[in-house]
Amino acid sequence: MPKPANSQRPQASFWRTVQAIMWKDLTSELRHKEIVSAMFIFSLLVVLIFNFSLELDRATRDNVAAGVLWVTFVFAATLGLNRTFAAEKDRDLLDGLLLAPIDRSALFVGKMLSTFIFIIIVESIVVPLFSLLYNMSLFTPLLLVVLVLGTLGYTVVGTLLAAIAIHTRAREIMLPILLFPVAVPVIIASVQASAGILEGNALGNISGPLNLVVVYDIILFAIAIMTFDYLIEE
């Protein structure tokens, strides 16, 4: 009787590569603490600046709370995304990764997940501080779901475009120029969904922007998997 083909081996190899890339980035960050610390300090400064500048008008501060929250996360996440491939590029390790006999999509998924973890760590610290300073509760399960989904979509497209920006000289400037126009749908939908939740709206009233965030995540992830191999080579 012929032996059945082991179809699980490529899948296992794919996830081992993803885990190896994630572990490398996480251990490097634990050693140097560059990305998370920079994103946290930036987020804290933005929250404090908006808090004191809007102190005199409580109604306005409540109305713009969702926008302030996402402005903080978007710009802080951009700092982290700028470092997605920077360490490998600066140390001439990126060519070695590209020459390794691994699936390029595994490299993308590993980098995306490690950056996503860094951003979520910063958000988990900033959300309680934001709640304290703005005197509002952000610990609503639905709001946390929106934060995770919006952050995931922004991280997916940011990691993909970071693969393009890393080959330019002014990559710190080029990435935001490429990223912000593409990420506008997920940012606007996330702000609208978050604002609706903070206003106490039911799930049915925010289903439109929430569904847009989910669809955006799925479509951009599929596009990233299909195009990353080409973009990282250019």
Q: What angle, rounded to 10 degrees, do the helices at 35-53 and 104-134 form? A: 30
The structure's pTM equals 0.88
- Write out residues in the chain with pLDDT < 50, as ranges: 1-7
Task: Determine, yes or no, domain membership for 5.
Answer: no
How far does Cα 9 stand from its chain's mean position? 30
- Whether 3 is in a domain gets the answer no
* Class of residue 155 by CB neighbours under 10 A (exposed 0-12, middle 13-18, buried 19+): buried
Beta-carbon contacts of residue 105 (< 8 Å; ≥ 6 apart): 14, 225, 228, 229
Question: Which amino acid is present at 218?
Answer: I
Cα–Cα distance for residue pair 180/187, rounded to 1 Å? 9
Q: Is residue 95 part of a domain?
A: yes
Angstrom distance (rounded) from CA 215 to CA 56: 39
pLDDT at 7: 46
Does residue 1 belong to any structural domain of this protein?
A: no
DSSP string, 134-177: HT-----HHHHHHHHHHHHHHHHHHHHHHHHHTTSTTHHHHHHH
Instruction: Say if 110 falls within a structural domain.
Output: yes
Q: Do 157 and 78 contact (CB within 8 A), yes or no?
A: no
What does the pLDDT read at residue 145?
94
| Residue range of the domain that includes 119 | 10-231
Q: Which amino acid appears at position 198 of this protein?
A: L
Which residue type is seen at 141? P
What is the model's pLDDT at position 11? Answer: 61
pLDDT at res. 229: 80
214 within some domain: yes
pLDDT for res 171: 76
What's the domain count of the chain? 1
Give the model confidence (pLDDT) of 149-163 as tens digits.
999 999 999 999 988
* pLDDT at position 154: 96
3 state SS of 93: coil
Dist CA 70 CA 191 (whole Å): 7
Q: What distance, in Å, lies between the first and last C-alpha atoms of the chain?
A: 47
pLDDT in tens, 116-142: 999 999 999 999 999 988 888 888 899
Residue 99 located in a structural domain = yes
